[in-house]
Structure 1
Amino acid sequence: MKRPALTNKVLVLGIDGMDPKISRKFLAQGKMPNLQKLIERGAAREDLTLLGAIPTITPPCWTTLATGAYPGTHGITCYWRQSPESLDAVVYNMDSRNCRAEQIWNITAEAGLKTLVWHWPGSSWPPTSDSENLNVVDGTQPGSVNMGVAQLDWEKVIVATPDIDEVRYAPRVEKPAGVGCIISDLEGTLDLDEEVDDEMMELWWGDKARQGGEIRTYVMDDEDTEVVIGSKVAYDIINSPLREAKGWANAPEGAKEFTILTSGGVMRRPALILKNEAGEYDRVAIYKNKKAETPIVVLEKGKMVTGIIDDVTKKEVTKPACRSMKILELDPAGNKVRLWISNALDISNDQLWHPRTLYKEIVENVGHVPPVSLIGGEDDELVREIFEPSWRLYNKWQADALNYCIKEKGYQVVFSHLHNVDCAGHQLWHLAKTLPEWSHTDEKTYQGFIEKFYEQTDEYIGEFLHLLDEDWTVLLVSDHGLIVGENVPPILGEYGGLNTKVMEELGYTVLKKDENGNTLREVDWEKTRAVQIRSNYIYINLKGRDKYGIVDPKDKYELEEQIINDLYNYRDHRTGRRVVGICLRNKDAVLLGTHGPECGDIFFSIEEGHNRLHGDSISTSEGYFDTSVSPIFVAAGPGIKAGFKTDRIIRQVDVAPSISVLLGLRFPAQCEGAPIYQIFSEEV
């Protein structure tokens, strides 16, 4: 039976990590006027919430939104996939070929609707339909478009003063808060031929993860947790003398020179600080060499510039790349300059664009993909001056790119994803409450940064409101929210790898020791009965199933019961409170949609109050500073009641079938949700 369509054009605006609870807070303060307009013109629950799938992790939730199926059904059950060979290892998971449920965009494309899937992480790449109506951009990692494959060089801070006597390069320096960037103790630490990759970038968002090998990460203490690693400030530092300009073909009068090193320290770029008409230094000009007549770029104080194209060398191959830059500090008297240079993105890399010609068209008509910063963390100056503004630039580029596609390319259905809030969450949100571990930071400062990211998100939403007057139906959704943690969580439920500490305390996981009694990052499988890996899963080390299994299958049920009892009885030594919220056998976890062969023998969640940002909790968990793990949902435009509030519980599995009804199409084959018929303008 074919249904009449309620609309002919649908835009799904996906904002990773957008939380309805804190959105309501900023709405009440008048700080999100565009979201307010969308709500007034459309329909939602009063609290704006969407009941999220579990686990509350990016790939499973976006895949649930796309398929209308729960993670246990579609098979994308965490950020990583469990290694089929090892209980202590994970493998890459953001691959559409791992998804066992049909995606809604295949239905729209095969129905003749020109469809664009833009950077939807989890189940969009590679494209899963041969229809010429389906175009797909990236989706292999959640950061920003092309981030995983086009990265050529890392971020840098250049410091130049007259007191520095020679050019020095230090890769990936972790800069403690409050310490300057002048390096005086590099002897014996520098090797300019050494290739230094950023571990976090390559592991979580980079190309290495996609090679198919096992990733083995042991989370043994707080320093191993993703939120601590992600908040560390690590970037290349270049120190340079600042001197009178000499040997230049065209240096303005009074200019002073310094040197920039890129490409792992092997490529030099001369630069000048320049005077204005008042005789004060206020600009930086960067050149390819001193003989060049014109600079690569001229930077003004206080303004971030993107779209800067320069050559970058990586592994002895030189390619043109796009960078952003900003002056952090420039003494008007010309005695110091401090400059930030972004990571470099290969401008020729179109491998994650289908068709590839779309990349060229976007670059020619909108501009090159702007690199986003991944530094900041506990250095509030870098967050304020670099991290947040770089995402604001990227948001505008993405909005322009999507609007260009809609206006000039004739797309009728667009599924889009933006990662600004979630990226900031993993660097900053934990600093919005003063805990002993973060006592050197000011929670009010970081609460202000949260506000900034929601304001920039509201600007992004505003870029698409015009579509409501052009017969488009717009759905605003997210995968999960992000909490500000109330406490420092115990080592349980960290989604990046094997969580050892609590399972060691309970006697289920045993690590090997060296000859001096020091604990090694290696499981003693002869003594280990169970391990906790990924966000919510415990695996029994089962004989006959697992490589080093020691538990007899006949004892599995009883052991599961013992583990569940011990987890419910476990108390955090810092707070004395229960740590585990829900704990179920795999067969019982069907109640939550976290069952089946891609899930562990036991599913558990962390109790509210001990949660990380997201992932280890159920989607209704709440945190400090009016934050929650719940996702958001608002819909407006043709087919949707205007100014309407519903009491219905709206689930992530309901989004895909609702899109089907709006467009008059069939439901995805494995869909487990139901249309949100209460918000439709016509009876269905």
Structure 2
Amino acid sequence: MALIKEKPKKFIILGQDGAIPYIIEQGIKAGYLKNFKRIKEKGVFTPVLPHPSSVTPGNWAAIATGAPCGKIGISDFTVHIPGEPLNQERNAFDRNMCQAEFIWDTLSKRGMKVATISYPGSRPRGLERHVAIGGEGMPSEGPGYCALTKAQCFITPNIELADPYQWREHQVIQLKPAKSWKNIPEEIKIKREFNFSLLNQDYLCLVYRDNGEDAIIISKERNFKNFLARVKEKQWSSWIKIKLADTTGAFRIRPIKIECAEPSLQLYVSPVNRCSNFSDPAEYGDELTRILGVYQEPLNISALLTGWIDPEGLLEEFREQAMWQARAAVKLTKDMGFTGVLSKWHAFDKFYHFFFQKIDPAAPNFDKEQFDYYESIHKEILRIADEMVGYVLEEKEEQTVLVVCSDHGLMPSARHASVANLLVKHGFTALKEDEKGNLKIDWTKTKAVLYPFVQIWINLKGRDPEGIVEPGAEYERIREEIIKLLRNWKDPKTGEYVMSTVFKTEDGAFYGLGGERDGDIRFFTSPGYSVTEIAFPLKMGF
């Protein structure tokens, strides 16, 4: 928090999802996070403990309401409403799932305008003076309030991508000799083409060599002069507009590799992003796009994992989103009459989930030879966050207070432990095969189930539609049996206890738990253990 001389009249909250205080402090001491240093020296800097289970939607709701997760009703990545089928889930990022009042609604009732940018719980918008910009804060890479499509990658057959999980979402293309193009300069001798579609609109790509350099143009017609964008290897094209029924979209391309003679091509195509109608009310997003340019909400970290994009290209996407949020926050409070802005930038969380094991020597898969590569990406994300903070510090009004906060930290997973499978093995969860041979839960024989991720629910008569466990003595006996099972559970490889804490949910007041949506049993794994889903056989862990 940055100090100001007088009582603040406005506020800007820059949410940094997954940012870890001790890593920020290391960057301050190393001298490359100068703006975080300014906050620490002139304001307040402190680590805090997140609410269990340390997930994005519940903790951002806690920040925006001041209530613990048990009161909010969100303590997992999805929400189960007691009385509904135990396998039915609700979107925890939905505003209507939160049982406490958000600060933007509190201030709206008092006549003040507050904007949210990609903040969990901000959609659907409630009161008139709240403006929701971007989506509901879910870290999706697919279509949503802003993006109309996912990113895409096109490769020729001679390109090999990393794709460690074999998702195979890229598209293999053939570069064919270019035919019937008009106005191609005579000196261009090597030229090839392919086409792709976006939102039912076709685009032609011409790959060519000119003066020893390879380049690509994208066009709606076979006319070299009428291209939409021209770009060389590892460069971003300009934004390409695409007109749709209710909005105008924009996308761009980045060739990761072009070798016209071989021929060889790897082309990254960004999501199509809305240029209008991505805020509620719509006019605020439209105006910010006019001033600041395109807002791309998805941060496509999986594109780096699969090898679709180069680190520099990904970091440029990260930086552009960060600075768009920072500039929008200042613009809204300084020139557009807003009392406050709450934004959420998801870069740290995404990087740590995918690559923490690459930068932490304690991780079992840590590779010293890869450390410098991934740590350089990590440091650049930290620098982007610092630049974001610095911009707001310099450009905000004097009586606007800046708060920079995170919702949780992360650590690498050493081992994967399946609580769900443990419940199956000990007869608490029953499975059966469907007509296709897939395993599913047999609710007529199931006494307890892990759902969604860190909650254990007893299949209770009178509460759950297919309940088989009697309330009272049987309910308590099964809870005690499961708690004992989890407390005594050891890693078969290391002999270590998997759980650090297991308790009845009503005993979780210390952790801010105890609400009716918090399950019947809660647990925290020991450091380094993560929880996996039901799978026989398990693909990883035990």
TM-score range, shorter chain: 0.7 to 0.9
Alignment-derived partner of residue 428 in structure 2: 508
Distance 1:414 1:332 in 2: 48
Residue in structure 2 matching 1:423, options 350, 359, 378? 350
* TM superposition shift of 1:20: 0.6
Alignment of 1:314-353 (within 5 A): 320-331=248-259, 335-350=263-278, 353=279
- Residues of 2 paired with 1:232 and 1:382: CA distance? 16
User: What is the aligned partner in structure 2 of residue 290 from structure 1?
Assistant: 222
Query: Which residue in 1 is equivalent to 2:411?
Result: 483
Partner of 2:194: 259
**Superposition deviation, residue 81 in structure 1:** 1.0
Q: Are the structure 2 counterparts of residues 73 and 154 from structure 1 closer, same or farther at C-alpha, using a change threshold of 3 Å?
A: closer
- Paired position in structure 2 for 1:124: 122
**Aligned equivalents of 1:56, 1:43: Cα separation in 2:** 23
Count of equivalent residues: 522
Amino acid across the alignment from 1:57 = V
Match of 2:517 in 1: 598
Partner Cα separation in structure 2 for residue 272 and residue 522 of structure 1: 49
Q: Deviations over 1:344-400 (max 9, x none)?
A: 2344443xx222111211121111223642433544673514433322222223223
- Give 1:444 deviation, angstroms: 4.7
Match of 2:181 among 236, 248, 252: 248
Whether 2:73 is the aligned partner of 1:155: answer no
- CA distance 1:383–1:301, change in 2 (3 Å): closer
1:98 positional shift:
2.0
Q: Which amino acid aligns with 1:101?
A: A
Structure-2 change in CA distance of 1:469 and 1:41 (3 Å): farther
Match of 1:368 in 2: 294
Write out per-residue CA displacement over residues 85-130 of structure 1, whole angstroms, 9 at most, x where no aligned residue. Answer: 3223322222222222122222333334332222210x22223323
Shift of 1:70: 0.5
SS at match of 1:39: helix
Whether the 8 Å contact between 1:377 and 1:427 is mirrored in structure 2 is no
Distance 1:284 1:479, change over 3 A: same
**Aligned to 1:239, which of 165, 170, 173?**
173
Of residues 235, 239, 253, the one that matches 1:307 is 239
TM-aligned CA deviation for residue 479 of structure 1 = 0.8
Q: Any conservation in 2 of the 1:12–1:416 contact (CA below 8 Å)?
A: yes
SS of the equivalent of 2:325 reads: helix
Question: 1:89–1:571: structure 2 CA closer, same or farther, 3 Å change rule?
Answer: farther
Output the amino acid matched with 1:88. N
Distance 1:446 1:9 in 2: 38
| Equivalent residues in 2 for 1:187-226, closer than 5 Å | none
1:567-598 per-position Cα deviation (integer Å, ceiling 9, x unaligned): 00001223221111221212211221111211
Distance in 2, matches of 1:156 and 1:447, equals 26
The answer to whether the Cα contact below 8 Å between 1:584 and 1:604 also exists between their aligned partners in 2 is: yes
Query: Which residue identity is paired with 1:368?
Result: V
User: Matched residue of 2:54: which SS?
Assistant: coil
User: Separation in 1 of the partners of 2:439 and 2:112?
Assistant: 52
Amino acid of the residue matched to residue 30 of structure 1? G
Partner Cα separation in structure 2 for residue 379 and residue 296 of structure 1: 28
Question: Which amino acid in the other structure matches residue 375 of structure 1?
Answer: S
Query: Is residue 533 of structure 1 aligned with residue 451 of structure 2?
Result: yes
Name the SS of the counterpart of 2:289 in structure 1: helix
Please list, as runs of the form range in 1=range in 2, the aligned pairs for 1:378-527 lying within 5 A after superposition.
378-379=305-306, 382=309, 384-432=311-359, 442-467=370-395, 470-485=398-413, 487-492=414-419, 500-513=420-433, 520-527=438-445
If the length of structure 1 is used for normalisation, what is the TM-score? 0.69
Which segments of 5 or more consecutive residues in structure 2 lack a partner in the other structure?
1-5, 533-542
Report the counterpart of residue 44 of structure 2 in structure 1.
Answer: 43
Change (3 A) 1:425 1:120: same
Kindly indicate whether residue 36 of structure 2 is the aligned counterpart of residue 108 of structure 1: no
Check whether the contact 2:299–2:346 (CA below 8 A) recurs between aligned residues.
no
The residue number in structure 2 matching 1:76 is 74
The two structures have a TM-score, normalised by structure 2, of: 0.86
Describe the shift of the 1:510–1:440 C-alpha distance in structure 2 as closer, same or farther (beyond 3 A): farther
User: What one-letter code is carried by the residue in structure 2 that aligns with 1:535?
Assistant: F
The question of whether the paired residues in 1 share the 8 Å contact of 2:65 and 2:102 is answered with: yes
Q: Which runs of 5+ in 1 are unaligned?
A: 165-174, 179-227, 493-499, 614-684
CA gap of 1:471–1:53, structure 2 versus 1, over 3 A, is same
Query: What is the deviation of 1:469?
Result: 6.5
TM-aligned CA deviation for residue 326 of structure 1: 1.1
Give percent identity, aligned residues only.
Answer: 24
- What secondary structure is seen at the aligned counterpart in 1 of 2:222? coil
Shift of 1:311: 5.7
Of 110-119 and 556-565, deviating more is: 110-119
Aligned residue identity for 1:235: E
Residue 271 and residue 404 in structure 1: after superposition, are their counterparts in 2 closer, same or farther (change >3 A)? farther
Shift of 1:65: 0.6
Match of residue 177, structure 1, among 152, 162, 169: 162
Aligned to 1:463, the other structure's residue is in SS state helix
Q: Does 1:22 align with 2:18?
A: no
Bigger mean CA offset, 392-401 vs 57-66:
392-401
- Whole-angstrom CA distance in 1 between matches of 2:38 and 2:405: 16
Q: 1:562: which partner in 2?
A: 481
Provide closer, same or farther for how the CA distance between residues 537 and 450 of structure 1 changes in structure 2, counting only shifts above 3 A: same
